[in-house]
Amino acid sequence: MAKRKLQRFEELKGFQRTFQFPFPLIHTDHGLKGNWAKEVFGNSNPVVLELGCGRGEYTVAMAKSFPELNFIGIDVKGARLWRGAKTINEEDIRNAAFLRLRIEWLHLFFEPGEAAQIWITFPDPQPQLSRENLRLTNPRFLNLYRSLSGPGGLLHLKTDNTGFFDYSVEMLEQQSGSFIVKTRDLYTSPPEGFDLSIRTTYEKIFMDKGELIKYLRFQWS
């Protein structure tokens, strides 16, 4: 297993539109900050981030479905990221990229307002109270997302976990903005125009078990 991980880390270095950096990261702004659309994608289209993207299947699927947007899948696990990065290179998907990075360092790589949308898909709910600081919708992270998105920016969350969904709603209610969509059963009451065909591996597993998929869309003011 360790040998395969090392092979994948090495292969990541040769992929186009795939970025990974030494850890610990030197805490200075990166050269791509504010320049992702122009320098990486060669256009001026809006940038969409998927946080904790895992193997990247959601990032890849969204990039295929929405060619007018630029998608960046972000995860700290390089061995997981490898699958999505390999796919966009093999299929020459030019509006998708991957970044190996810790979420708390996003401000070093993206300017305020640079991310038009942020997606969080089936994150670890971190149910223990002692691990609230690791939940991807805790106040510290939400303030970061708000800065990255700016007024009018969108935050999307998909989860099977009721406790995490309720926690996220409660935290977002304390933010400046409003819910555009908030549903506890996405596949019974989907938002208009929502592409239900885009699903993560975990989502399919949860649905096979009969779990209801929760979804919210929040817009910053």
- What mean pLDDT do residues 114-121 have? 98
Catalytic residues: 124
Collapsing DSSP states into helix, strand and coil, what is residue 92?
coil
Place 22 in a pLDDT band, splitting at 50, 70 and 90: low
Residue 1 has pLDDT above 60, yes or no: no
pLDDT on residue 201 = 87
Which H or E element spans position 148? helix 139-149
Output the average pLDDT for the chain.
Answer: 92
C-alpha angle 114/116/120, rounded to 5°? 110
Collapsing DSSP states into helix, strand and coil, what is residue 120?
strand
Using a pLDDT cut of 90, give the percent of the chain over it: 80
Residue 32 has pLDDT above 80, yes or no: yes
Q: What does the domain layout of the chain look like in residue ranges?
A: 40-220
Residue 202 has pLDDT above 60, yes or no: yes
- What mean pLDDT do residues 19-30 have? 72
Give the whole-angstrom CA distance, residue 63 versus residue 203. Answer: 18
The correct answer on CATH 3.10.150.10 for the domain covering 40-220 is no
Measured between alpha carbons, how far apart are the two ends of the chain, in Å? 46
- What mean pLDDT do residues 185-209 have? 92
pLDDT on residue 69 = 98
Give the whole-angstrom CA distance, residue 199 versus residue 29. Answer: 33
C-alpha angle 183/184/186, rounded to 5°? 65
Minimum mean pLDDT range among 40-49, 74-83, 149-158, 197-206:
74-83
| Tokens 């996405």 belong to residue | 186
Measured on CA atoms in the order 45, 87, 119, 76, is the torsion positive or negative?
negative
Whole-model pTM above 0.75?
yes
Between 22 and 28, the more confident residue is 28
